Structure 1
Amino acid sequence: MLLRLSALLSLLLTGAIFGFFYAWVCSTMWGLDQLPAETAIGAMNAMNTSVRNGVFMPAFFGTSPALALTAVLAWGAKRRDVAALFALATVLYAAGAFVPTATVNVPMNQALMLTDLSQPPEALQAAWRSYSDRWQQWNQIRTAVSGLCLLLVGAGLLRLGRKRP
């Protein structure tokens, strides 16, 4: 029972973080790119400030522990196939989504906060373009990795639902 609950929590958190990153890929950044740079920078700064909240934090910080717990519980239940899927998802999420966020996207966000909005529009446009292009590349990586993790969780749940041979 605990294994199944942990697996479902892993599904919920992995799906939430994938959806969060995916929304930036398919709408948010494209929308910001359509705005004047000063407005885009201000809006991005506001979003980056507002994301530090109790709704986002469980998905971002809780996904790896939930995946790892599920892997451990599956291992203890002698479900090595399920454990391997959740362990792989744990490592992939940590290395391909959590670490890039902490080492690339967040430092870029912090640097963007320091942008002097009184610069000429051309300078702001160059600053935004440089930021947006690189930020989106890294966001696409963490989105793809999170999507792969979600597929691994789904595969783990399917295997968990099967009777043991």
Structure 2
Amino acid sequence: MGTITLIAAAASGLVAGLFFAFSTAVMPGLADLPAEDARAAMRRINVRIQNPLFLLVFLGNVVLCGIEVFQGRVVGGLLYIVGSFLLTMFVNVPMNNRLERTDDAYWPAYLRTWTLWNHVRGVACLASTVTLLLGF
């Protein structure tokens, strides 16, 4: 197993852990707050997560998993690219953008739907980690 595969698997695992933390602690914690407070907190989280270290791991792993796809580990690479990156860009980020533009009435629908897709992203990242390590 090569260095790129190990780094891609580790990065997929890190992102899986982040999504797991959101699904099991952050979003349930926010669900306990009044909509106004929860929405405000999530909006801050959405700003703060866009930091160099997170972006290096999250986006850098797209590149690494792309390399993995071309080196024959198609399943592991695509699980991350599609299940993490593309879902984030086409589902979660648009929901985050809508959260910025709407009032607190959107919060309950956001919480349910965003969290559901976050579960999917977490499972995809974990599956990416395992399949990369297994050579798929």
TM-score scaled by structure 2?
A: 0.90
Q: For 1:101, give the aligned amino acid.
A: T
**Separation in 2 of the partners of 1:136 and 1:143?**
10
Task: Tell me the equivalent position of 2:98.
Answer: 111
RMSD over aligned CA atoms reads 1.7
Q: Work out whether residues 84 and 121 of structure 2, in 8 Å CA contact, stay in contact via their aligned partners in 1.
A: yes
Q: Secondary structure at the match of 2:131?
A: helix
Distance 2:69 2:81 in 1: 14
Question: How many percent identity over aligned positions?
Answer: 31
3-state SS in 1 of match to 2:52: coil
Counterpart CA distance in 2 for 1:11 and 1:59 is 11
Any conservation in 2 of the 1:68–1:90 contact (CA below 8 Å)?
Answer: yes
Letter in structure 2 aligned against 1:69: I
8 Å Cα contact 1:13-1:58 kept in structure 2:
no
Match of 1:100 in 2: 87
Q: Give the C-alpha shift of residue 62 in structure 1.
A: 1.5
Task: Tell me whether 1:145 sits opposite 2:124 in the alignment.
Answer: yes
Distance in 2 between residues matched to 1:57 and 1:127, nearest whole Å: 27
Unaligned runs of at least 5 residues, structure 1:
76-82, 117-123, 160-165
**Whole-angstrom distance in 2 between the partners of 1:49 and 1:150:** 27
Counterpart residue number, 1:10? 8
1:154, distance to aligned residue in structure 2 (A): 2.2
Q: How far off is 1:71 after superposition?
A: 4.7
Q: Distance in 2 between matches of 1:107 and 1:94?
A: 17
Matches within 5 A, 1:63-142: 63-72=61-70, 75=71, 83=72, 86-116=73-103, 124=104, 126-142=105-121
Matched to 1:98, the amino acid is F
Return the TM-score normalized by structure 1.
Answer: 0.76
Letter in 2 for 1:140: H
Q: Which residue of 2 aligns with 1:34?
A: 32
Larger RCO (CA within 8 A; separation ≥ 6): 2
Return closer, same or farther for 1:111/1:71 CA change in 2, 3 Å cut-off: closer
How far does the alpha carbon of each residue in 1:43-69 deviate from its partner, in whole angstroms, 9 at most, with x for none? 000000011111111221111221232
CA distance in 1, matches of 2:82, 2:97: 21
